[in-house]
Amino acid sequence: MAASDTAQVTSVEHLLASKELVVICGSGGVGKTTTAAAAGAMAAAHLGGKVLVLTVDPARRLATALGLEAFGNKETQVPRDLFTEAGVTPRGELWAAMLDTKQSWDDLVRRHAPDPETRDAILANPLYNNITGKFVQSHDYIAMERLHDLHASGRYDLVIVDTPPTRNAIDFLEAPERMADFFSSRLLRWLTVPARSRILSTASKPFYTVADRILGSQFLADIAEFFILFQTMYDGFVQRAEAVQRTLESECTTFVVVSTLEPAPAHEAEFFLKALAERDLNLGGLVLNKVLPDYLLDPQTGALAERLADQSASVAEALVAADGDVGEAKAVARVLGEVADSYANFRVVATREAEQKARLSNRPEVVATVPYLDSDVADLAGLLDLGTRLWS
Amino acid sequence: MTSLLDHRLLFVTGKGGVGKTTVAAALALLASRQGKRTLVCEVDAKGDVATAYGVGPTEFDPKEVQPNLFAMSMSTEESLKEYLKLQMRLPLVTRIGPLARTFDFIANAAPGVKEILIVGKLAFEVREDNYDIVIVDASATGHVVAQLAAPEAIGDLVKVGRVREQTGWITEILHDPQQTGVAIVCSPEEMPVAETLELAARIADETDVHLTGVIANRVLPELFGRGEEEIFDRLRQPSRTEALSEAAGGSVTPVFDAAELAVTLRRTRAGHLENLRSSLPAGVPLVYVPELFARAQGMRATSQVAEALGAELDIDMEALA
């Protein structure tokens, strides 16, 4: 990068230094959580300030790597000693929290319920418990809501959130809007009519006749009760959802897409990059994980591996003739053949992935490539090592 | 013990990115080649099943993509329409439209409604004997338990009405280990293994559906045989690498680096596989699919995986073709 470009955001480091909220997204299994933690560790170590990593479902290993037994909905500070042990004097603080969907929903209800009776009725409603505890769609909204809440609290300089696994990667982007729609919907009011009044409008009658036959009136009454209770929180929820939406759209928020170069995740990343562009959301960076080394793409090495496979016998014989300690000529030839084959195999994958990379359009200014690591990240030093590769 | 393809209804699940769809598509291909009338259904309609067979988008109405092999994608709205038409004898499509939208709205909020429309449709195809086997490219690990447990959960919530009656026969099919099984696809990496073990435990605790097998996908082959790694280590010594480079007419270092990467990856993954093998509940078979380094995607890659699966399950693809 030319010196004149330094004012632009050209690295993950610049990105983390210039934003307050970072949303890490991508399909499942691409290393989102680890990327979020590594970025957080680097920011705390080198940029200073208070940094929070909010994760959805961390591996126990990640908790251990952060020196925490476990962490929950409450924010917990990562011990400073851990940085020192990893050979870094941190300029700031690293905090971690896990998104507990049920707990967060309960907190929301406590905040928005008009009175203690309604609050208790909602919290005790079986449908409410079912929805908040089991249904994954409810994670989407809660993740964004927590993000907004943490940002608004003013307790952190930087909040990095790792998004929940969604059926569709953009689900959570639309979650605040959907939540607002849900509460403003005429359908919702319509549905709650019969419990308020026994007189059915002509429009809703056929629906209830069928619904009654299918679901039974008790279940229908349960649903209606739940919706009526929930409606009492209408104003609070809609305002809230709108505020969350504004936060996501604001300049201080940036989105980082994580992907590997396998076909399915790359396809989803592509889709996501497009969705962000369409929504005019701030796309900050693209992190490509588990990328195979460049030497697999070198044409000369490819040709050499092919030669080595073809001529393994003669090459081995020549080598053993000059240096008998290597081993038996036949065995050496076999090893050379296997090594050359393995190179060719990985070369196929690397070539396909390079193609995949070239095809990714809508790319942001910042693209970080993280190599295939030999081992899993087990401690803070490992996270910082990963972070260093992200940084530049 | 009932083998994977002996079931009537097989749910294939797994963490994102482990090759769940490819394995489901390959199993279905294998079943169809055995002469079974096979339906494969993609629950999260992302279009990956269509890609796996190299065909255009799948729809709710199954289409034959290979002889004996039918593919469909799930749609809760269509499933509801079909249900209303068949069960409630509601002929007027015009009336069903807005009704379905209303239900869709409820389904998004009320627990289990969406899930039962999915599972109910699949079990229906089995009950009606429309297919010999229904293979489901099911939702990823997070959602699948909710789907499998939905008929019972609904049964608990809804005390009367048609749905209540329906949950009876659905659970009967789901809970019969001869008829229904869940297979978890996993790659030999840390997180997928951890999630597989967690899911196996949840299936046992929260559902009465039988876990019929775990499929470890993309298992790297052992690069070196006995005594060969020592030779490789000797070849890695600088003087020898240099001599070899001279003999081969170019630097062999990157070729050796690649081999070392392969060995390290294999070793790390072998550790995760060992953890998987030793932690799985007793009696759950573990099936291995090797890393195929496939150049192709689509139908070619799917049939390669099917062949590898066939070899593991003692089904000869070549003889069937």
Q: What is the pLDDT of residue A241?
A: 80
How many residues would you count in chain B?
A: 321
- Number of domains forming the structure of chain A: 1
Can you give chain B as a three-state secondary structure string? CCCHHHCCEEEEEECCCCCHHHHHHHHHHHHHHCCCCEEEEECCCCCHHHHHHCCCCCCCCCEEEECCEEEEECCHHHHHHHHHHHHCCCCCHHHHHHHHHHHHHHHHHCCCHHHHHHHHHHHHHHHCCCCCEEEEECCCHHHHHHHHHHHHHHHHHCCCCHHHHHHHHHHHHHHCCCCEEEEEEECCCHHHHHHHHHHHHHHHHHCCCCEEEEEEEEECCCCCCCCHHHHHHHHCCHHHHHHHHHHHCCCCHHHHHHHHHHHHHHHHHHHHHHHHHHHCCCCCCEEEEECCCCCCCCHHHHHHHHHHHHHHCCCCHHHHC
Better-predicted residue by pLDDT, B104 or B11: B11
Q: What is the pLDDT of residue A2?
A: 40
pLDDT, average across residues B53-78 = 94
Assign residue B35 the CATH number of its domain.
3.40.50.300
Query: Which of B190, B222, B293, B304 has the most A C-beta neighbours within 10 Å, making it the best mutation to test the interface with A?
Result: B293
Say if residue B95 is exposed, middle or buried (CB neighbours under 10 Å; 0-12, 13-18, 19+): middle
A131 shares contact with chain B (CB less than 8 Å): yes
Q: What is the pLDDT of residue A199?
A: 47
- Number of domains forming the structure of chain B: 1
**Residue ranges making up the domain that contains B189:** 4-220+273-320
Q: What is the pLDDT of residue B12?
A: 97
CB contact (8 A) between residue B17 and residue A29: yes
Name which of A311, A342, A376 is nearest B259 (Cβ-Cβ): A342
Question: With contacts defined as CB-CB under 8 Å, which chain A residues touch B111?
Answer: 127, 130-131, 134-135
Q: What is the pLDDT of residue A283?
A: 92
CB contact (8 A) between residue A304 and residue B157: no
Handedness of CA A375, A381, A387, A391 (dihedral sign): negative
Question: With contacts defined as CB-CB under 8 Å, which chain A residues touch B264?
Answer: 374-375
What is the DSSP pairing of strand B38-42 with strand B133-137?
A: parallel
* Per-block mean pLDDT, blocks of 10 residues, chain A (392 long): 52 92 86 91 95 79 76 87 93 91 85 90 80 60 83 94 68 71 64 52 58 66 75 79 87 93 85 88 92 94 94 92 89 95 94 89 85 79 91 78
- CA Rg value for chain B: 23
Question: Distance from CA of residue A169 to its chain's centroid?
Answer: 9
pLDDT, average across residues B85-96 = 58
Q: What does pLDDT average to over chain B? A: 87
Question: With contacts defined as CB-CB under 8 Å, which chain A residues touch B290?
Answer: none
A183 shares contact with chain B (CB less than 8 Å): no
The encoded tokens of residue A11 equal 């690295």
pTM of the model: 0.83
Q: Which of the residue ranges A17-21, A85-89, B21-25, B110-114 would you say has the lowest mean pLDDT?
A: B110-114
A263 shares contact with chain B (CB less than 8 Å): yes
Report which of B57, B9, B19 is spatially closest to residue B306, judged by C-alpha positions. Answer: B19
Say if residue B168 is exposed, middle or buried (CB neighbours under 10 Å; 0-12, 13-18, 19+): exposed
pLDDT surpassing 50 at residue B246? yes
Does residue A385 fall inside a structural domain? no
Question: With contacts defined as CB-CB under 8 Å, which chain A residues touch B164?
Answer: 216
Neighbouring CB atoms inside 10 A of B14's CB total 30
pLDDT surpassing 70 at residue B318? no
Q: What is the pLDDT of residue B143?
A: 77
Q: What is the pLDDT of residue A239?
A: 83
Which residue of A lies nearest to B103 if distances are taken between CA atoms? Answer: A211
Q: What is the pLDDT of residue A287?
A: 95
Q: What is the pLDDT of residue A1?
A: 39
Q: What is the pLDDT of residue B217?
A: 95
CB contact (8 A) between residue B142 and residue A165: yes
Question: With contacts defined as CB-CB under 8 Å, which chain B residues touch A338?
Answer: 223-224, 228, 259
Does residue B242 fall inside a structural domain? no
Chain A segment 241-260 residues within 8 A of B by beta carbon are 260
A234 shares contact with chain B (CB less than 8 Å): no
pLDDT, average across residues B110-124 = 83
Name which of A29, A265, A304 is nearest B191 (Cβ-Cβ): A29
pLDDT surpassing 60 at residue B44? yes
Q: What is the pLDDT of residue B287?
A: 95
Q: Write down the ipTM of this complex.
A: 0.84
Does residue B225 fall inside a structural domain? no
Q: What is the pLDDT of residues B180-190, one digit of tens each?
A: 999 999 999 88
Residue A30 near residue A79 (C-beta atoms within 8 A): no
Does residue B233 fall inside a structural domain? no
pLDDT, average across residues B151-161 = 71
Distance from CA of B151 to the nearest CA of A (A): 13
**Residue ranges making up the domain that contains A312:** 296-351
pLDDT surpassing 80 at residue B197? yes
Query: Which of A210, A227, A349 has the most B C-beta neighbours within 10 Å, making it the best mutation to test the interface with B?
Result: A210
CB contact (8 A) between residue B268 and residue A375: yes
pLDDT, average across residues B213-223 = 93
